[in-house]
Structure 1
């Protein structure tokens, strides 16, 4: 005996399968499009130094090797520059996450009029060009005696690296149930404990995302080291790549090898953060 509604179940199931396959195919296309430049960069870095320009693309050079990497580390002190960048990023990233999340928590918990005013200030901070603040910052750092140190490279983390991080945290905290904080206030939980012990753990996906963006922004920062650092011993990776381009700019494979060395840490951090982010989202949904 036929059951009413049964025939409609198969088309819905088939449509869902088709949509899933379409999403998967779209993700594959996007992944290939994003990975292709990285593959070309890596393959080009495997060519020997002083190689003539390619007339046509090749999947793998016949004389592939890592001589270009050795030459890149020989021409400039990439090892020291990598160390400097790692030190700056390891200090600046958690500092940026902490400051941005604290500012976002204040905005989310403030009365509506004050929150709007603070959001307006954050938006203005996003609009003001970074170069417009360089002269004032240079004077402040000179008076403090911290020029040509790591301090000017870490200092932007005190403002969350950029105002967008603050706004992202403010939005994330505003989505949390207010009843949780009301109960915490009745239990005489201090605002500091409410921020660190309640808000941050509940906004873990946003914390991972902002931390990843802060790491990438700090690692790729070229302007601050260029203006505030003068000693070669204090150079970070972006300045090292610029020096490598000036010294061996005609040797494309060596420059590409330096680019791979500079890009690899960011790719690794993004890959790890992606796994943490998906794990956090699955935990939030369960």
Structure 2
């Protein structure tokens, strides 16, 4: 070993010690953040008498009785509520991908009058709190006879009302060379053919990001279904879990069990789509 290596050895050891300390700290912070979730999962498998008497994560005397009891504890089984949530969420994903990508293509690749103004108005809607627009929306949907149906939760999304996704896809499309559009035009493709045959395959990461966020936001949405839905058979999973908290009394085990089930679709969807999510976010806006 040379003299230079010997001189650098203390510095390398210090750097290694700092990295180890940083990783240990990050692991402890991660465990602290995950503890409430892990405790809820373990508690969903415990008897009610043992839930608040044991704060550990020890797996002792576990049972699935809470899941069986909570599944049919309400007027309708949770299968109905899960079906409603999957229907609304599925339509929201399709609507956001189709409408927002088509709108983004117009803003990113086409030229028309007042384009900058319309884009500014669209982005301005992101800054509006949902509570500001909910009253006029309620009045409008009431006049249309859409209250207590899924229409207020799904139809508006087919008109590209999610400005965030439009902006996300616009930024992604701007990173694609315009030579592709020119080559498509030379081959006889019109704007819609260029969008459907060429642009859509190229923006798959952005569309995957849109689908993942649409799923998470729509699945977790509590406020809008609470406003527009009154029939128990039309309730979504978040509404059903909240209602269970009111009628379930002290049956914490069943409540935790249904809460765990409500998180499973989000976890599964994210695990299978995280590769596209990271790629879409990392490359959005890059030239």
Identify the TM-score tier after normalising by the shorter chain: 0.7 to 0.9
Q: Which residue of the partner structure matches residue 229 of structure 1?
A: 229
- How many residues matched? 272
Deviates more, 1:27-36 or 1:163-172: 27-36
Aligned twin of 2:90: 90
Q: What SS class does the counterpart of residue 273 from structure 1 fall into? A: helix
Contact 1:108-1:115 within 8 A present in 2 as well: no
Q: Who is 1:238 aligned against?
A: 238
Contact preservation (8 Å) 1:161, 1:214: no
CA contact (8 A) 2:39 2:56 kept: no
Task: Give me the TM-score of the superposition, normalised by structure 1.
Answer: 0.82
In structure 1, the gaps of 5 or more residues are: 1-6, 282-286
User: What residue number does 2:125 align with?
Assistant: 125
RMSD: 3.3
Q: Name the CA distance, whole Å, in 1 between partners of 2:150 and 2:65.
A: 32
Distance 1:35 1:199, change over 3 A: farther
Q: Mean alpha-carbon deviation: is it higher for 110-119 or for 233-242?
A: 110-119
Q: Report the equivalent of 1:71.
A: 69
| 1:190 CA drift (Å) | 1.8
Equivalent position of 1:170 in the other structure: 170
1:4 matched residue in structure 2:
none
Q: Give, in angstroms, the shift of residue 30 of structure 1.
A: 7.3
CA contact (8 A) 1:104 1:167 kept: yes
TM-score scaled by length of structure 2 = 0.81
Q: CA deviation at 1:235?
A: 0.7
**2:285 maps to what in 1?**
none
Q: Which residue of 2 aligns with 1:106?
A: 106
**Shift of residue 147 of structure 1?**
1.7
How far apart in 1 are the matches of 2:138 and 2:197? 37
Note the C-alpha offset of 1:111.
4.1
Partner of 2:263: 263
- 1:279 to 1:125, Cα distance in 2 relative to 1, 3 A: closer
- Counterparts in 2 of 1:27 and 1:280: CA distance versus 1, 3 Å: farther
- Greater shift after overlay, 24-33 or 246-255? 24-33
SS in 2 for 1:75: coil
- 8 Å Cα contact 1:51-1:253 kept in structure 2: no
Q: Which runs of 5+ in 2 are unaligned?
A: 282-287
